[in-house]
Chain A
Amino acid sequence: DQQVKQNSPSLSVQEGRISILNCDYTNSMFDYFLWYKKYPAEGPTFLISISSIKDKNEDGRFTVFLNKSAKHLSLHIVPSQPGDSAVYFCAASETGTYKYIFGTGTRLKVLA
């Protein structure tokens, strides 16, 4: 039973355009969400997070949106750059717990 789902295994976007990566979750107890970025042969690196008390969090070119009623979050990258090409993982947890539940990842390719 996959509690965190990333239904798009891959996404290609032109440089300069917006990349939108989606994530759905089923556990209504999740209230803290993170996005990690992973390059080949490296470990995941933290990108941005959002708590359920907010519906948006922004950090430079990266914005995460949370829709609690739909149990859906998305990561927007604007403008997309070739260096953003990586696998992006969505993760969820409950506040006060340490366990992250990860999605299966979306491979983003930004075309120059």
Chain B
Amino acid sequence: GAGVSQSPRYKVAKRGQDVALRCDPISGHVSLFWYQQALGQGPEFLTYFQNEAQLDKSGLPSDRFFAERPEGSVSTLKIQRTQQEDSAVYLCASSQTGFDEQYFGPGTRLTVT
């Protein structure tokens, strides 16, 4: 079946612009995660959804970052007033229950100029 998909794959934003990154999880997966991967680093947890409920947003670096999953499937990560330090690959992952293996999408590479 289809895996996790993300769009756009690449995004260039001027500093101060708002961006929205989309994630389509595997159909039927209850849990959805967002990670940020800076160059040369491993993925770092940003936030976690179980269905439409955002149960953990402890990893979001600032209040400029906002995530939603209104119908419990597709999720959007929004970054307002982007800064250069937001440049990274943003990875989305889903899992059936949240406590089993996570399946990752290809990521969105965000470059803020």
In the complex, B42 has a CB within 8 A of chain A: yes
How long is the Cα–Cα vector from A97 to B58 in the complex, in angstroms?
14
How long is the Cα–Cα vector from A64 to B99 in the complex, in angstroms?
20
In the complex, B48 has a CB within 8 A of chain A: yes
In the complex, A74 has a CB within 8 A of chain B: no
List the B side residues contacting A4 at CB < 8 Å. Answer: 42
- 8 Å CB contact of A98 from B31, B44, B105: B31
With A96-B99, A98-B31: A45-B45 Cβ-Cβ less than 8 Å? no
Query: Secondary structure of the B side of the interface?
Result: loop
- Taking CB atoms and an 8 Å cut-off, the chain B residues in 33-92 that contact chain A are 33, 40-45, 48, 56, 91
List the B side residues contacting A42 at CB < 8 Å. Answer: 106
- 8 Å CB contact of B103 from A46, A97, A100: A46
Query: Is the beta-carbon distance between B33 and A89 smaller than 8 angstroms?
Result: no
How long is the Cα–Cα vector from A45 to B103 in the complex, in angstroms?
7
A36-B104, A43-B91 known; 11 new pairs, CB 8 Å cut-off, are: A4-B42, A34-B101, A46-B102, A46-B103, A49-B101, A89-B42, A97-B99, A98-B56, A99-B56, A102-B43, A103-B42
Q: Provide 27 A-B residue pairs closer than 8 Å at the C-beta atoms, listed in order of the A residue.
A: A4-B42, A36-B104, A41-B9, A41-B106, A43-B105, A43-B106, A44-B43, A44-B91, A44-B104, A45-B104, A46-B103, A89-B43, A91-B42, A95-B99, A96-B99, A98-B33, A98-B95, A98-B99, A99-B45, A99-B56, A100-B45, A100-B102, A101-B45, A103-B42, A104-B40, A104-B41, A105-B42
- Residues on A facing B (Cβ under 8 Å): 4, 34, 36, 41-46, 49, 89, 91, 95-105
